[in-house]
Amino acid sequence: MSDPFSFAPDPEHPGWMRWELRDTTRFNAFLGPILTRMEGDKALVRMTTGRRHSNLADSTHGGALLGFMDVALFAAARTFGSISAAEAVTLDLSAQFIAPSRIGDPIVAEVELLRETGRLLFMRGLVKQDDTVLASFTGTVRKSSPRP
């Protein structure tokens, strides 16, 4: 199976990798292009919110933020070199919403890999916009079984 994601340097954002689903009819495409890079021991995962991600208060809708957090776990895992393509599933995701965002400006998830076992990745992160923490989250990702 070919890789359903493209993962390549983003020419518009030097130092960032663009992680994007090739099939634009899937949910991930709703979030738009996802950028990722390593900074120290953390993976940074970035998206720019738009009106389609907004709620009636003109902030990022909680559902869009949760979707971003879930995708950030996978983009971070790819950036850490723990997985490639669609080789994993989310086991759990817990989030705490802290502050509203500005629509149109990038948000960044700072993701830490707390522990990796043969099958599991334990991660936590903060979603920020500039210096404002918008949300915190923890998640567990299970790597898929090797194919015969």
Is the model's pLDDT at 29 over the cut of 80? no
Q: Write down the pLDDT at residue 88.
A: 87
Burial class of 85 by CB neighbour count within 10 A (0 to 12, 13 to 18, 19+): middle
| pLDDT tops 90 at residue 49 | yes
- Span 103-128, average pLDDT: 96
Average pLDDT of the chain is 90
Confidence (pTM)? 0.89
pLDDT for 36 equals 94
Banded pLDDT at 1 (limits 50, 70, 90): very low
Question: 69 and 110 in contact (C-beta within 8 Å)?
Answer: no
Tens of pLDDT, residue by residue over 60-106, are 999 999 999 999 999 999 889 887 656 789 999 999 999 999 999 99
Residue 56 has what pLDDT? 94
Contact between residue 129 and residue 145 where contact means Cβ atoms under 8 Å apart: no
Is pLDDT at 37 greater than 90 in this prediction? yes
Closest CA to 72 of 107, 118, 120, 26: 107
Return the pLDDT at 97: 97
**Gyration radius (Cα) of the chain, Å:** 15
